[in-house]
Amino acid sequence: MQTRHDMNDDLRVGDRLVPAGIDSEPVITHEGPVIRVERREFELEGRRIRKDIVRHPGAVTIIPIEADGNILMIRVGRLPVGRMLLEFCAGKLEPGERPDLAAGRELEEEVGRRAGRIHPIGAYYTSPGFCDERMHAFVATGLEPVPRRLEPGEEIEVVPMSPASIDAAILDGSLDDGKSITAWHLFRGHRSGVAAWQE
């Protein structure tokens, strides 16, 4: 599925196609196993600007539909916010990994399901104010059980939910994970009802 980003259909600000500072020299201030942080300094309208940018390899999130129409969500421990969050399963891209293959891998590892079909529904930036992470969203159908393969330190519980209960959880705030809300919006916009995905 192509998006405006994929088609290079950029939005202009005045005469600029790209943001100020794009050609500034990056200085790496942190490099870890998942992210890299770089500092950019540049002049804009007579002022010295400094920005810290998080570089991320990209990620996938998957909406798995069981044969009975339930959606398999997860409840996962998120240390940065100090809570267990309700989410769709997700994970980062490995170097050179295709997003659809990463989606199948993450589904098996976290949810314990192998997908007969993986359908792309869109891609989006999760926090473009400071990070370049691009999330690729998929719907998985034709599921069959497989053993889960959780990584050390992962706290994940599989939570089956009906589409109506997911809608309600978003509205009452009990589902407040941004990537999952965006993926659900794309899911709802593509087809009418869960049954349409299982045809």
160 and 194 housed in the same domain: yes
* Alpha carbons 138 and 140: distance in angstroms, whole number: 6
pLDDT value at residue 26: 93
- Tell whether 10 and 86 lie within a shared domain: no
Exposed/middle/buried for 79, CB within 10 Å: 0-12, 13-18, 19+?
A: exposed
Residue 69 and residue 155 share a domain: yes
Q: Are residues 99 and 65 in the same domain?
A: yes
The residue among 55, 75, 100 that closes a domain is 55
Q: pLDDT grade, residue 190 (50/70/90)?
A: confident
The parent domain of residue 22 ranges over: 1-55
Please check whether residues 104 and 37 belong to one and the same domain.
Answer: no
Same domain, 26 and 107: no
Find where tokens 């998985």 sit: 140
pLDDT at 97: 97
Residues 44 and 86 in one domain: no
Residues 45 and 75 grouped into a single domain: no
| Residue 183: how many other CB atoms lie within 10 Å | 26
* Position 192 pLDDT exceeds 70: no
Assess whether 1 and 48 both reside in one domain: yes
**What is the CATH classification number for the domain harbouring 140?**
3.90.79.10
pLDDT at position 177, please?
98
Q: Which two tokens stand for residue 19?
A: 């943001």
Rounded CA separation 199/197 (Å): 6
Q: How confident is the model at residue 2 (pLDDT cuts 50, 70, 90)?
A: low
* CA atoms of 95 and 30, how far apart (whole Å): 19
Residues 124, 142 within the same domain? yes
Spatial distance between the Cα atoms of 61 and 131, rounded to a whole number of angstroms: 17
CB contact set of 131 (below 8 Å; sequence gap of 6+) = 35, 53, 54, 55, 56, 125
Q: How many domains does the chain have?
A: 2
Closest CA to 135 of 97, 71, 182: 182
Q: Does 65 lie in the same domain as 50? A: no
Q: 63 and 49, same structural domain?
A: no
Residues 117-175 pLDDT 10s: 999 999 999 999 999 999 999 999 999 999 999 989 999 999 999 999 999 999 999 99
Q: What pLDDT sits at residue 191?
A: 73
**If pLDDT is split at 50, 70 and 90, which confidence band does 4 have?**
low
Are 75 and 85 contacting, i.e. CB atoms less than 8 angstroms apart? yes
Residues 6+ positions from 82 with CB-CB distance below 8 Å:
none
* Beta carbons of 193 and 164 less than 8 angstroms apart: no
Task: With a cut of 60, say whether residue 33 has pLDDT above it.
Answer: yes
pTM equals: 0.88
Known active-site residue 155: yes
Instruction: Give percent of the chain above pLDDT 90.
Output: 81
154 sits in the region (left: phi over 0; alpha: psi -120 to 50; else beta) called beta
Among candidate residues 31, 43, 155, 157, the one labeled active-site is: 155
**pLDDT-based confidence at 10, cuts 50/70/90?**
low
What is the per-residue pLDDT across 62-93, written as a single tens digit (0 to 9) for each? 999 999 999 999 999 999 999 999 999 999 99
